[in-house]
């Protein structure tokens, strides 16, 4: 239930935005989740439904997963992240702290561990819509 | 693009009364040993204590304390395992003690991720074992943990002192509280740091001696607490508990 902590982070942030923007009600929140983080969408949706209250009571949360793409900083080769190539323990470690991928994943072309996450690394709130 | 982790950190640390970053200008001055012994002594005194190793690429508090085969509990976030009455968080739980090389943004993302999901609960003291220098870790701690106070560790070497002064300057400019300075690895052959600090208006917390036997005690907290260094730290900790650092 590490997803619960991520859901709380969304709720805290959206609540603050609603206060700052003086919204009476938040109608919709768009959240993007990086594939690298391997968030269980059903679990995070369940947690958000349990946690939303007040101005967020009727909020619709739309969550979309963004494919993770990595690029080697040494040879510039780019490739897609594939969870199935990792053993379960490593996949779980990356799920908690995606940057530890640098301990386990190598560039398939040159073997370097100096790569960047081009996209699909983490979760972010793309937009918050509401009624003033 | 809003990063929800930033607001989460504020909530995760809301029940932590004191946050102390143990830092230095240069590496190799004994920060991690001092941070670990500080946590042990505070826990022994009955305080609720947490310790996080923020030296992600070269973590060592787990080796100093002898933390083995522990993993955080997953409970609406992650709860750090308790060892010797200290809640300990380290990236080694996830990197499995493999080599981890991180560039600046990767460090910041790891920092935000771990702080955003770690549930410390109520703590009297959270000790941050910092990597050396004024780098991403120092800047992120200052940016995201506004109530942090610093302890600066130095040796009497002019190399260590020169960089400690730069760190003090940087913290003063940003109006970050400094609890004081600890001189580590003191020997009869070294001059006193205390005399050189007058102009810096920074509290001198005390000295810990160079102890050739210390290395043998790494991994064993009972032995560690009996070292000359730990005995000297007891006095320093009493001082830390009484220093008033104003906002």
What tens digit of pLDDT does each residue of B55-107 get?
999 999 999 999 998 999 999 899 999 999 999 999 999 999 899 999 999 99
Distance from CA of B139 to the nearest CA of A (A): 19
| Per-residue pLDDT at B247 | 52
**CB atoms A9 and B5 under 8 Å:** yes
The separation between the first and the last C-alpha atoms of chain A, rounded to the nearest angstrom, is 34
Distance from CA of A56 to the nearest CA of B (A): 16
Q: How far, in Å, CA of B32 to CA of B165, rounded? A: 20
Residues of B in contact with A128 (CB under 8 A): 2
Question: Quick one: angle between helices B228-242 and B31-44, nearest 10?
Answer: 70
**B215: pLDDT strictly greater than 80:** yes
| Nearest of B193, B150, B153 to residue B175 by alpha carbon | B150
Domain count, chain A: 1
Domain boundaries, given as residue ranges, for chain B: 5-242
**B200: pLDDT strictly greater than 80:** no
The separation between the first and the last C-alpha atoms of chain B, rounded to the nearest angstrom, is 32
**CB atoms B102 and A97 under 8 Å:** no
| Per-residue pLDDT at B192 | 76
In order of A12, B16, B210, B233, the CA distances from B184 in angstroms are 42, 28, 7, 10
| Per-residue pLDDT at B80 | 98
The CATH architecture annotation of domain B5-242 reads 3-Layer(aba) Sandwich (3.40)
Q: How far, in Å, CA of B29 to CA of B229, rounded? A: 13
Q: How far, in Å, CA of B183 to CA of B154, rounded? A: 5
Average pLDDT, integer, range B19-33 = 96
User: Chain B residue with minimal CA distance to A73?
Assistant: B103
The answer to whether residue B113 neighbours chain A at the CB level (below 8 Å) is yes
**CB atoms B95 and A13 under 8 Å:** no
**A114: pLDDT strictly greater than 60:** yes
**B246: pLDDT strictly greater than 60:** no
Residue B184 pLDDT level (bands cut at 50, 70, 90) = very high
The answer to whether residue A86 neighbours chain B at the CB level (below 8 Å) is no
Q: Which of B1, B2, B108, B119 to mutate to test the interface with A (most CBs of A within 10 A)?
A: B2
The answer to whether residue B86 neighbours chain A at the CB level (below 8 Å) is no
What are B217's strand-pairing partners? none
Q: How far, in Å, CA of B144 to CA of B165, rounded? A: 23
Residue B198 pLDDT level (bands cut at 50, 70, 90) = low
CATH of the domain at A58: 3.30.2320.80
| Per-residue pLDDT at B193 | 81
The answer for B 143-202 residues in CB contact with A (under 8 A) is: none
Distance from CA of B12 to the nearest CA of A (A): 10
> What is the pLDDT of chain B when averaged over all its residues?
93
**A108: pLDDT strictly greater than 70:** yes
Average pLDDT, integer, range B34-44 = 98
Q: How far, in Å, CA of B147 to CA of A1, rounded? A: 29
**B44: pLDDT strictly greater than 80:** yes
Residues of A in contact with B116 (CB under 8 A): 5-6, 9
**A1: pLDDT strictly greater than 70:** no
Q: Which domain holds residue A24?
A: 2-131
Residues of B in contact with A97 (CB under 8 A): 91, 94, 110, 113-114
Q: What radius of gyration do chain A's Cα atoms show?
A: 17
Distance from CA of A109 to the nearest CA of B (A): 19
Q: What percent of chain B has pLDDT over 70?
A: 97
Residues of A in contact with B6 (CB under 8 A): 13
Q: How far, in Å, CA of B80 to CA of B166, rounded? A: 33
The answer to whether residue A87 neighbours chain B at the CB level (below 8 Å) is no
Query: Taking the CA of residue B210 as centre, how many other CA atoms within 13 Å lie in the half-sphere pointing to its CB?
Result: 12
| Per-residue pLDDT at A101 | 96
Residue B140 pLDDT level (bands cut at 50, 70, 90) = very high
Average pLDDT, integer, range B169-187 = 93
Show the tokens assigned to A118.
């081009």
Average pLDDT, integer, range B135-162 = 94
Average pLDDT, integer, range B36-65 = 97
**CB atoms B113 and A89 under 8 Å:** no
**Interface confidence: ipTM more than 0.85:** yes
Q: Report the 10 Å Cβ neighbour count for B26.
A: 19
Average pLDDT, integer, range B223-229 = 95
| Per-residue pLDDT at B243 | 80
Residue A28 pLDDT level (bands cut at 50, 70, 90) = very high
**CB atoms B117 and A89 under 8 Å:** no
Residues of B in contact with A94 (CB under 8 A): 94
């Amino acid at each position: 239930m590490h997803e619960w902590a991520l859901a709380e982070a969304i709720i805290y942030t959206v609540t603050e935005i609603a206060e700052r923007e003086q919204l009476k009600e938040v109608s919709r929140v768009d959240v993007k989740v990086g594939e690298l983080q391997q968030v269980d969408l059903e679990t995070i949706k369940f947690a958000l439904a349990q946690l939303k209250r007040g101005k967020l009571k009727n909020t619709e949360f739309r969550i979309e997963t963004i494919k993770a793409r990595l690029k080697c900083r040494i040879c510039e080769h780019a490739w897609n992240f594939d969870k199935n190539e990792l053993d379960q323990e490593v996949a779980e470690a990356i799920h908690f702290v995606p940057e530890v991928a640098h301990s386990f994943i190598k560039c398939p072309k040159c073997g370097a561990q100096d790569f960047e996450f081009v996209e699909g690394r983490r979760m972010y709130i793309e937009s918050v819509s509401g009624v003033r | 693009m809003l990063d929800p982790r930033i607001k989460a950190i504020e909530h995760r640390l809301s029940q932590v009364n004191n946050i102390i970053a143990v830092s230095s200008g240069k590496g190799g001055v004994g920060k991690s040993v001092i941070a670990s012994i500080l946590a042990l002594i505070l826990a022994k005194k009955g305080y609720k204590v947490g310790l996080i190793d923020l030296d992600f690429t070269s973590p060592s508090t787990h080796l100093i304390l002898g933390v083995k085969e522990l993993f955080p509990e997953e409970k609406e976030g992650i709860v750090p395992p308790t060892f010797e009455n200290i809640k300990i968080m380290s990236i080694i739980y996830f990197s499995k003690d493999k080599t981890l090389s991180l560039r600046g943004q990767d460090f910041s993302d790891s920092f935000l991720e771990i702080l955003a999901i770690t549930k410390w609960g109520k703590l009297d003291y959270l000790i941050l074992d910092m990597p050396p220098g004024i780098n991403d870790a120092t800047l992120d701690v200052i940016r995201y943990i506004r109530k942090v106070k610093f302890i600066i560790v130095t040796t009497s070497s002019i190399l260590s002192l020169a960089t400690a002064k730069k760190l003090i300057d940087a913290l003063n400019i940003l109006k970050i509280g400094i609890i004081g300075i600890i001189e580590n690895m003191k020997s009869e052959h070294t001059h006193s740091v205390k005399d050189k600090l007058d102009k810096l208006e920074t509290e001198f917390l005390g000295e810990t001696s160079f102890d050739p036997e210390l290395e043998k005690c790494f991994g064993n907290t009972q032995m560690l607490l009996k070292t000359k260094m730990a005995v000297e730290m007891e006095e320093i900790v009493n001082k830390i508990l009484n220093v008033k650092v104003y906002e």
